[in-house]
A and B are shown apart, each in its own frame.
Chain A
Amino acid sequence: MWQATLSTILTLAIGLPGAYLLAHYNFWGKSILRAITAIPFVLPTVVVAASFTSTLGPNGWINRTLITWLDLETAPIILNHTLWAILIAHVFYNTTIILRLVGDYWTLMDPKMIKAARCLGATQFRAFLGITLPLLTPAIVSAALLVFIFNFTSFGVILILGGPIFSTLEVAIYRQTINFFDLEMAALLSVIQLICTLGLTILYARLSRKTHRPLQTNRLPSIRRQQLNWKKRISIVIVITILIIVLVVPLITLAFSSVYKFEPDRGERENISTGFTLNYYHELFVNRRNSIFFVTPIETILFSFRNAVITTLSALAIGLPATWMLTRKTRLTQLLEPILMLPLGTSAVTLGLGLLLVFSRTPFNMRTSSLLVPLAHTLVAFPFVIRSLLPSWTIINPQLRKAAAMLGANPIQIWREIDLPIIGRAILVAGAFAFTISIGEFGATILLSRPEFTTVPMAIYRYLSLPGALNYGQAMALSTILMIFCGTSIFCIEAIRPNAISEF
């Protein structure tokens, strides 16, 4: 609870100046910055945790540099298993949400409002306080709430970075299930969790509907290249630097750590070699420790890939008809909408637990089926699919369909000629989301996966929890692969996303 509140406040503190910047100024590299800042949001939690270990962990880059420079015995910054580690990771994770939700809303705000206030005698500060802030409030609150939900249900970050001291409900559920086999306790915690997040989600849905209240006028976002004095320039540079440090540096150190060797592997005491190496990537193809993995790391990639394909197809297969139903405004859909949105309010761990409980006993005994994991992923990805599809589907002007019908098109032709081209991009985006989510999903997988079916995030998690430079390096290597994959997919999503206000 505390952790979530603190994280949210910190995220706001870093995200809001960034949102202002992105909404008001054009500068060189803006679109790249915008795309890069979106990467953390789609990164799997284990990758986030891994990149933090690589940056700020005891063997991380910052500590190593400080040790070398200051000639210290031990790492000066011990963040692992502290609240700070969790806070920083959460800020890293969620700043994008603030940047996007608030930034986009801000872009739509009519600059004339501020001008009007200025002409009515308000100073810059009072215009901000009296006009900008109240107008932005719904967007800020709903973004903050979403961040809070994510922080509240955070699992992977806390499990890996928090250590035994810090625990969210999620982590507690996981521990009760896996460590103590106390399913009843776990179920009880899940119900509490469900109620909390459900409440928060409903609140969020209410608020975000409010931000859809038309801001009126400013139809085309008018960002003009403004004359910048040096004060503005400096503050822009500062904000960009902070954004880059928080959002980009961990990604770079992660990639670096995967190809740089710090210390000899165990059993390699004779010829110590450090420096750049592709060794960790080679090792991914080798099944070295039979006792821990039944499969080589590279096979986990294949397995994850297979999961992702199944997830994408099934999530779209359920998501398309569900969205279609939601676009018809009937009583039934009003009843259905919250139910369809339920998985968003449910955390992955709770979902995993639910599936575990349902499918471990007859008549649904699928506990050993390799389809259980993609099934869980489908449920996790489902709300995102709907959220991607719904906006562009609802904006199809019904007149278009009528016009097509008047021109002699039958319903199938209408769907093919009108609906499909318009929502085609949205379907691609939804698919990409489902795929990315499945590849990186951790919370539900950790409860459901079996050793013979290990996904990439699972493998990273295990490598991270084992000692030794080789394990560490392999974790970094796998994380880098995941990061590159997720980065690519978010770039694709950005490129094909229909021009609407982004929603999460």
Chain B
Amino acid sequence: MLEIIDISKSYESMEALNQISFSVAKGEIISILGPSGCGKSTLLSIVAGLTIPDTGMIRWNGISLTSVPPHLRNFGLMFQDNALFPHRNVYGNVAFGLKQLRLDPAAIDKQVSAILNMVGMKDLANRDVLSLSGGEQQRVALARTIAPKPRLLMLDEPLGSLDRNLREQLLHELRQILTKLEQTVIYVTHDQDEAFAIADRVAIMNAGQLIQIGRPRDIYEHPVSTFVARFLGLTNILEKSIVSVDKSNGVRISEKSLIPVSQPPPKHMKNPRILVRPRGAQLSEHGTLSGILAGISFRGALVDLKIIVSNELQLKFEVPTPSLIPKVGTKIKLELPSDASIWIEDDSL
């Protein structure tokens, strides 16, 4: 088990990491999610031992790694743009880590071909790495990183530079390989789809702070703050000024629209806001929320709706596709489930 305890790091005047603590269980895939520049890569670098933190410590199975140099940690790190060795071919890259273990050549040979086989690159062992396509380079980099059987695997935006189709395909393969190896993994990305698809738990970071950590579903259902909500694409956040408390267990957001929410907001919140979840709503004559349809996009069983509720407020919902799709500009009514809204902290200040 990896423990990250109270890690802080600043560069000159800039604070890169501020008291980060969490742990990763054996065989767990944890994803660190955050916008670029939030300190994700610095954290990986510290865990790998390439960067020395100002304060805090890294422990593995209870033993501090502070004085262990990177090459003795047996952690694997796959870099953002692969950092393949341009002067070695595919085989030479994958074999590099094994050679450092001073295995005999026959054993290295066997392992390299087994791993190249696993990532589907066994025919390209003798290729020059610079002649490979982006996806192939990614596979070689993964193969190189997992070849020495690291006890912890860290991936820094491994699919960052690839186009969408390839990314989805590789993500799927990656998930299979990692699960098969029962590998402990830290997966850094700025893409929430990627994080949610691959991780057992997701840690969301912003500006050097750990904001929230939890299972993907929990985070999606209960984001702790407006930053997390917006980062996950949940934009239905109600400003204080347009909300007035209604006696019928909800808040009134316009003359004709009422949103159910538990009252009052939790006491520990300094700047409580209401987040309206887009899912679960239905088009209905008896709906409590009415507005003008501003946009509609068809996604199969669901449609995404954009509704102008009042001059200041536009909300997005996904509803089951009705038999008769309403036209843009018409007035519609939505019925929201009782758990449609939650209170979250506004941390955008």
B70 in the interface (beta carbon within 8 A): yes
Question: Knowing A110-B83, A115-B83, A216-B130 touch, does A122 contact B77 (C-beta < 8 A)?
Answer: no
Most buried by B among A116, A118, A225: A116
Question: Knowing A113-B85, A131-B85 touch, does A119 contact B75 (C-beta < 8 A)?
Answer: yes
Closest to A119 in B: B77
Q: Considering the complex, which residues of chain B in the window 1-26 have a beta carbon less than 8 Å from any beta carbon of chain A?
A: 11-12
Say yes or no: B86 contacts A135, CB within 8 Å: yes
What range describes how many residues of B lie at the interface? 20 to 34
Q: Please, how many angstroms separate the alpha-carbon atoms of A112 and B49 in the complex? A: 13
Question: Knowing A225-B12, A227-B52 touch, does A118 contact B87 (C-beta < 8 A)?
Answer: no
| Residues in A whose Cβ lies below 8 Å from that of B277 | none
A215 in the interface (beta carbon within 8 A): yes
Q: Among B74, B83, B100, which residue has its beta carbon within 8 angstroms of that of A122?
A: B100
Q: Considering the complex, which residues of chain A in the window 183-223 have a beta carbon less than 8 Å from any beta carbon of chain B?
A: 214-217
Say yes or no: B96 contacts A122, CB within 8 Å: yes
Question: Knowing A113-B85, A215-B86 touch, does A119 contact B48 (C-beta < 8 A)?
Answer: yes
A295 in the interface (beta carbon within 8 A): no
Say yes or no: B11 contacts A119, CB within 8 Å: no
A121 in the interface (beta carbon within 8 A): yes
Q: Please, how many angstroms separate the alpha-carbon atoms of A117 and B145 in the complex? A: 10
Question: Knowing A120-B76, A131-B85, A217-B83 touch, does A115 contact B48 (C-beta < 8 A)?
Answer: yes
Say yes or no: B86 contacts A116, CB within 8 Å: no
Q: Please, how many angstroms separate the alpha-carbon atoms of A121 and B99 in the complex? A: 9
Q: Among A110, A113, A121, A215, which residue has its beta carbon within 8 angstroms of that of B97?
A: A121
B79 in the interface (beta carbon within 8 A): yes
How many whole Å from B149's CB to the nearest CB in chain A? Answer: 11
A416 in the interface (beta carbon within 8 A): no
Q: Considering the complex, which residues of chain B in the window 241-256 have a beta carbon less than 8 Å from any beta carbon of chain A?
A: none
Closest to A113 in B: B83
A130 in the interface (beta carbon within 8 A): yes
Q: Please, how many angstroms separate the alpha-carbon atoms of A434 and B40 in the complex? A: 51
Say yes or no: A112 contacts B79, CB within 8 Å: yes
Closest to B129 in A: A216
B101 in the interface (beta carbon within 8 A): yes
| Residues in A whose Cβ lies below 8 Å from that of B145 | 119-120
Return the CB mask of A111-139 against B: 1 if under 8 Å, else 0: 01101111111111011001100110000
How many whole Å from A320's CB to the nearest CB in chain B? Answer: 35
Q: Please, how many angstroms separate the alpha-carbon atoms of A224 and B12 in the complex? A: 10
Instruction: List residues of chain A with CB under 8 Å of any chain B CB.
Output: 110, 112-113, 115-124, 126-127, 130-131, 134-135, 214-217, 224-225, 227
Instruction: List residues of chain B with CB under 8 Å of any chain A CB.
Output: 11-12, 45, 48-50, 52, 69-77, 79, 81, 83, 85-87, 96-97, 100-101, 130, 144-145, 148
13 pairs from A and B in contact (CB 8 Å cutoff): A113-B85, A115-B77, A119-B48, A119-B50, A119-B76, A119-B77, A120-B144, A121-B97, A121-B148, A122-B71, A122-B97, A124-B71, A217-B83
